[in-house]
């Protein structure tokens, strides 16, 4: 039978009632004649709550111990969903990331998958079971528990879809696909029935929350089609299909909260960038004079920023957001982009598929709406 991988985000499994709805959808897919693998996130805001709990114990908790703590969230969800599916008459079994054969590099809090060995999953599918996997987590080659960064359950799902040669990978959330902007911010955002994976990756890397950037990177590399859907919708509802070399031409606006702009003199760029790498600080839009540091996967920013400033000649400006327009034909629209911002850009980055600027965080929503009106 063909394999279908489904992923359900935290809002889709936020309580027992919603887990029951997911169980019904999973059982229905099984009855359609598919082998089903389900990847789940932690319930609701569990990950945020666990992180806040750790911060009550220590201002900068060790990343290894954070991984040990945060991975408990998905284990709760996977067990409850397996129990709910069994109660509906289908056989199910739950696995952690390490039990699933997800092997990562030796980083904590933002590890990357390097290999998937899905032998246990394949064995259970052969026995007719629905397999439930804890997303967002794996095991390093040193046998350490690791997590894949916020939104990493998407990466788990796509990587498993590739390893199992799945027919498709379905990503379920509280939004019915990909829009030209966040519909909660831009009221007239347009639904995109189809999107190219290259554009979707640019959107994800610049802050769009519909899919994790590493997951899209896996999909591009392994030629996996992604179907982004709304959990509460039935058959025939709107969805977005993300495929390689999609013919649909579209533009979109995205935004990333909580970024810091690092600026430095050109002659100091090698030293600053090397220090950032040594401190495991992520960076995007790096140039010879500046780099943007997204804080989503930096739980210990206060400690690491102090080390960065002590070891290298750099100026750090917090309280910023990154806003971007993504799509084709933007190289000639930089002046229009700057005009639509309506505020001075702290930094500007232009590429084949994206134009981005860092701006004061309080202007983010207004700027998103202005950019959408100008480009989309």
Report the CATH number that the domain containing residue 98 is assigned in CATH.
Answer: 3.40.1160.10
- Residues in Cβ contact with 83 at an 8 Å cutoff, skipping those fewer than 6 apart: none
- Output the CA torsion sign for 214, 218, 220, 226: negative
**Residues 278, 159: Cα–Cα separation, whole Å:** 28
Q: Answer yes or no: is 366 within a domain.
A: yes
Q: Establish if 217 belongs to a structural domain.
A: no
**Pair (17, 148) in one structural domain:** yes
User: Looking at 132, 148, 174, which one is the last position of a domain?
Assistant: 174
**15 plus 161 within the same structural domain:** yes
Identify the bridge partners of residue 354 per DSSP, sorted by sequence position: 326
Domain boundary among 123, 155, 174: 174
Domain annotation covers residue 206:
no
Amino acid 209: pLDDT: 85
| CA–CA dist 132, 95 (Å, integer) | 6
* H-only helix segments in the chain: 16-31, 46-57, 63-87, 119-126, 152-163, 197-205, 213-222, 269-278, 301-311, 334-341, 364-375
- CATH number of the domain where residue 283 is located: 3.30.2130.10
Within this chain, do residues 160 and 45 fall inside the same structural domain, yes or no? yes
Assess contact for 162 and 177: CB atoms under 8 A: no
Q: What is the pTM of this model?
A: 0.92
Place of tokens 């319930």: 43
* 148: nearest Cα among 56, 227, 212: 212
Write out the two tokens for 129: 């079971």
| b (16+ CB within 10 A) / e for 54-76 | beeeeeebebeebbebbbebbbe
Does residue 126 share a domain with residue 10?
yes
Bridge partners of 134, per DSSP, are: 40
Residues 264 and 158 both lie in one domain = no
Dmax over CA atoms of the chain, in Å, equals 67
Do 276 and 166 share a structural domain? no
pLDDT for 165: 95
Containing structural domain, residue 339: 251-375
Residues 31 and 170 in one domain: yes
Out of 174, 207, 229, a domain closes at 174
Three-state helix/strand/coil letters over 176-207: CCEECCCCCCCCCCCEECEEEHHHHHHHHHCC
Same-domain check for residues 257 and 118: no
Flag whether 11 is in a domain. yes
Q: What is the model's pLDDT at position 265?
A: 97
User: What are the pLDDT tens digits along the chain (376 aa)?
Assistant: 799 999 999 999 999 999 999 999 999 999 999 999 999 999 999 999 999 999 999 999 999 999 999 999 999 999 999 999 999 999 999 999 999 999 999 999 999 999 999 999 999 999 999 999 999 999 999 999 999 999 999 999 999 999 999 999 999 999 999 999 999 999 999 999 999 999 999 999 999 988 889 999 999 999 999 999 999 888 778 999 999 888 777 899 999 999 999 999 999 999 999 999 999 999 999 999 999 999 999 999 999 999 999 999 999 999 999 999 999 878 778 889 999 998 989 999 998 889 999 999 999 999 999 999 999 9
* Distance from C-alpha of 109 to C-alpha of 33, rounded to nearest angstrom: 37
Shared domain check, 162 and 14: yes
Residues 259 and 124 in one domain: no
d(CA 147, CA 77): 16
Task: Go through 317-339 and write b for each residue having 16 or more CB atoms within 10 A of its CB, e for each that does not.
Answer: eeebbbbbbbbeebeebeeebee
Cα within 13 Å of Cα(134), Cβ side? 28
Domain count, the chain: 2
Q: What values do phi and psi take at 374, rounded to 5?
A: -80, -30
Pairing of strands 3-8, 168-173: parallel
pLDDT of residue 333: 82
Residues 168 and 291 grouped into a single domain: no
Same domain, 138 and 269: no
């Amino acid at each position: 039978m063909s394999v279908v991988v489904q992923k359900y985000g935290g809002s889709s499994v936020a309580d027992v009632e919603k887990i029951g709805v997911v169980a019904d959808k999973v059982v229905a897919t099984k009855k359609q004649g598919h082998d089903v693998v389900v990847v789940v996130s932690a319930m609701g805001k569990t990950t945020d709550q666990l992180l806040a709990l750790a911060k009550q114990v220590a201002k900068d908790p060790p990343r290894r111990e954070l991984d040990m703590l945060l991975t408990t969230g998905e284990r709760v969800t996977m067990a409850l969903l397996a129990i709910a599916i069994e109660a509906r008459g289908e056989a199910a079994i739950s696995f952690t990331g390490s039990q699933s054969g997800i092997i990562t590099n030796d980083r904590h809090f933002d590890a990357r998958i390097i290999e998937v060995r899905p032998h246990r999953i394949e064995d259970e599918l052969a026995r007719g079971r629905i397999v439930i996997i804890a997303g967002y987590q794996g095991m390093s080659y040193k046998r350490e528990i690791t997590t894949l960064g916020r939104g990493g359950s998407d990466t788990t799902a796509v990587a498993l879809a590739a390893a199992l040669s799945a027919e498709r990978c379905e990503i379920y959330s509280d939004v019915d696909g990909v829009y030209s902007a966040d519909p909660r911010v831009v009221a007239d955002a347009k639904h995109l029935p189809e999107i190219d994976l290259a554009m979707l990756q640019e959107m994800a890397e610049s802050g769009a929350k519909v899919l994790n950037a590493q997951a899209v990177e896996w999909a591009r590399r392994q030629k996996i089609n992604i179907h982004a859907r709304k959990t509460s919708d039935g058959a025939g509802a709107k969805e977005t299909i993300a495929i390689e070399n999609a013919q649909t031409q579209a533009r979109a606006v995205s935004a990333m909260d909580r970024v810091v702009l690092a600026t430095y003199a050109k002659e100091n760029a090698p030293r600053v960038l090397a220090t950032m790498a040594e401190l495991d600080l992520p960076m995007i839009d790096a140039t010879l004079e500046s780099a943007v540091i997204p804080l989503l996967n930096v739980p210990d920013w206060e400690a690491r920023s102090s080390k960065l400033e002590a070891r290298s000649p750099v100026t750090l400006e917090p309280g910023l957001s990154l806003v971007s327009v993504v799509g084709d034909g933007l190289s000639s629209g930089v002046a229009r982009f700057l005009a639509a911002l309506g505020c001075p850009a702290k930094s500007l980055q232009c590429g084949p598929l994206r134009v981005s600027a860092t701006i004061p965080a309080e202007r983010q929503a207004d700027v998103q709406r202005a950019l959408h009106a100008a480009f989309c």
